Amino acid sequence: MLAVTVDTEKLDYDIHSLVKAFYQEEEVKVLSPSTDREKADDLKKYLFMEIVLKGGRQKIAFYAKDPEGIPQSEREFFFSLENLFKDGETLSKEEKNLFKSRLYQSLSEYTGRSLPWGNLTGIRPTKIAMGMLSLEKDDEEIVRFMEEAHFVSRKKAKLSVEIAGREREILKPLHGEEGYSIYIGIPFCPTTCLYCSFTSYPICAYEDVVDRYIECLCREMDHVAEAYRGKALDSIYIGGGTPTTLSPSCLDRLLSHLDKTFDLSEILEFTVEAGRADSITREKLSVLKDHKVSRISINPQTMKEETLKLIGRRHTAEQVKEAFFLARDMGFDNINMDMILGLPGENEEDVAKTVSEIEKLDPDSLTVHSLAVKRASRLREWTRENGNERFHNPEETMAAAAKGAEAMNMHPYYLYRQKNMTGNLENVGYAREGKYGIYNILIMEEVQTIMALGAGSISKVLLPGGRIERADNVKDVRLYIEKFDEMLKRKDALFQLQKDEGWLGKL
């Protein structure tokens, strides 16, 4: 446990993220003036860092425990930020960025380490690069800015710029702000994976509600289609969960309603996550093919049998291969595969083996995830019981995956980061020319309205000036069905905002 005290509010997230990035194996608590006093007093025995920002001289002090376990000041860093809190009791965006720079520098000097993504927290690296490209800054200028302003390594900065440039080209054929995309969530899986934090329920326990769930999805489609009549639909993504957990007849019912409800004449991409090999059959793939699904995912995550069992996947690596070859034989020519780096007990050799096996299959795209320990996943509890030492994700594993993607003639095309990622690294999507996942870029870059249907989904509408407004559906499947009319009203509120801005006509 590491406790950090700070004498002002609204910096908890930034402080926690940076300290946690340097000390991934520790639980970090940030104590601000609003923290419950009894709780704060109890945690001060774990004091690791004291941050003083108010007053004429700012200070970041590090503490170590003496032989009796009492925190003693070990090292102090002083700095001066002029006119701090000039706009009130909280820091402005500019002041917060200056503070984050000082905090990162202090942590880096104290630990003797640097982080590949520097002090970037809560912002997508490609968003910085994309914004500067739109201002006609050249690549080297953007790289230098990321190095100097955010302490990002040159390698990662160049990757961000490369991906941002490629994203701009990929998105050009879309209708942009004048179009929209659809996400449909299928919150059922054969089993729930250890690391999963998505809305996902074992289908065997929810078979009694599947038909009613599909009925609600169809009604939600009708509602969105009516509001967006005349608008161009650019992409559809059906995810979950595992959509192919549904029976062939349920899949056909869902996709048939989609076909008749929306104008698909201008659609550029139609993705369905087939996902797990234990959910894929010839009959289900036939349904997807009949409904002109253009892109599917078959995701091993790892090709190591012991790890598959540990994370709760009830299929073998051989079944992944069989599902992949079946899809190829049936004519699917845009197949993505996912892998996760940093899974418990895996090392560089295991990652290299997974990459090698995927290379033999020769998919059209590869999404490489760095494991993130999410609060809502069973992995968090597993970590408490087993510790962090079994997570191993050095930059060499990411390099091995990148090398494998390059060998398959793939290019990096989207990138994002999450809290609590092993190795403090990133998630990167690689694809061959013409096989890029458009929706993956849209959901990250927030350059288009995305209407999300189903339990646990979050709709995001893009308003003038780049403002994003959201509306979420409840996560629990049964509650989603019970409160369905309320879900429609939440969407109506978004439609009204778009009407007020002139994007939609009279409702």
Dihedral angle computed from the Cα positions of residues 473, 474, 476 and 482, in that order, rounded to the nearest 10 degrees: -90
Strand pairing report for 335-341 and 458-462: unpaired
Three state DSSP letters for 160-185: HHHHHHHHHHHHCCCCHHHEEEEEEE
For 134, residues 6+ apart whose C-beta sits below 8 A from its C-beta are: none
Query: Which helix (DSSP H) or strand (DSSP E) does residue 254 occupy?
Result: helix 248-261
- Asked if the model's pLDDT at residue 507 lies above 50, the reply is no
Query: Which helix (DSSP H) or strand (DSSP E) does residue 182 occupy?
Result: strand 179-186
Q: Averaged over 379-394, what is the pLDDT?
A: 59
What local confidence, expressed as pLDDT, does residue 207 receive? 87
- From the list 167, 123, 238, 164, the residue with the least C-alpha distance to 438 is 167
Separation CA 432–CA 337 (nearest Å): 13
Q: Averaged over 103-124, what is the pLDDT?
A: 91
- Topology given in CATH for the domain delimited by 179-453: TIM Barrel (3.20.20)
Count of CB atoms situated within 10 Å of the CB of 218: 18
- Asked if the model's pLDDT at residue 253 lies above 90, the reply is yes
Q: What mean pLDDT value characterizes the chain?
A: 89
Q: Averaged over 172-190, what is the pLDDT?
A: 93
Task: Note the residue count of the chain.
Answer: 507
Q: Residues 331-371: pLDDT tens digits? A: 999 999 999 888 887 888 999 999 999 999 999 999 999 88
What local confidence, expressed as pLDDT, does residue 506 receive? 45
Q: Which range is least confidently modeled, 49-53, 79-83, 140-144, 164-168?
A: 79-83
For 494, residues 6+ apart whose C-beta sits below 8 A from its C-beta are: 459, 461, 469, 471
CA atoms within 13 A on the CB side of 10: 10
Separation CA 347–CA 354 (nearest Å): 11
**Binning pLDDT at 50, 70 and 90, where does residue 67 land?**
confident
Whole-number Cα distances in Å, 495 to 87, 133, 223, 230, 471: 35, 31, 11, 14, 11
Domain ranges of the chain: 1-83, 179-453
The DSSP output letter for 68 is: T
Residues 109, 398 contacting (CB under 8 angstroms): no
What local confidence, expressed as pLDDT, does residue 383 receive? 59
Three state DSSP letters for 424-445: HCCEEEEECCCCCCHHHHHHHH
446 alpha carbon, distance to own chain's centre: 13
What local confidence, expressed as pLDDT, does residue 93 receive? 82
**Binning pLDDT at 50, 70 and 90, where does residue 97 land?**
confident
Q: For 262-410, where are the E strands, in sequence order? A: 269-275, 295-298, 335-341, 365-370
Q: Residues 278-314: pLDDT tens digits? A: 899 999 999 999 999 999 999 899 999 888 888 777 7
Separation CA 410–CA 431 (nearest Å): 4
Separation CA 395–CA 102 (nearest Å): 25
Strand pairing report for 458-462 and 468-472: antiparallel
Strand pairing report for 188-189 and 201-202: parallel
- Asked if the model's pLDDT at residue 240 lies above 90, the reply is no
What local confidence, expressed as pLDDT, does residue 398 receive? 87
CA angle at 189 for the pair 187 and 194, rounded to the nearest 5°: 105
Structure tokens at 471: 């509306």
What percentage of the chain has pLDDT greater than the value 70?
A: 91
3-state DSSP call for residue 262? coil
The DSSP output letter for 345 is: T
Q: Averaged over 390-415, what is the pLDDT?
A: 87
Count of CB atoms situated within 10 Å of the CB of 10: 13
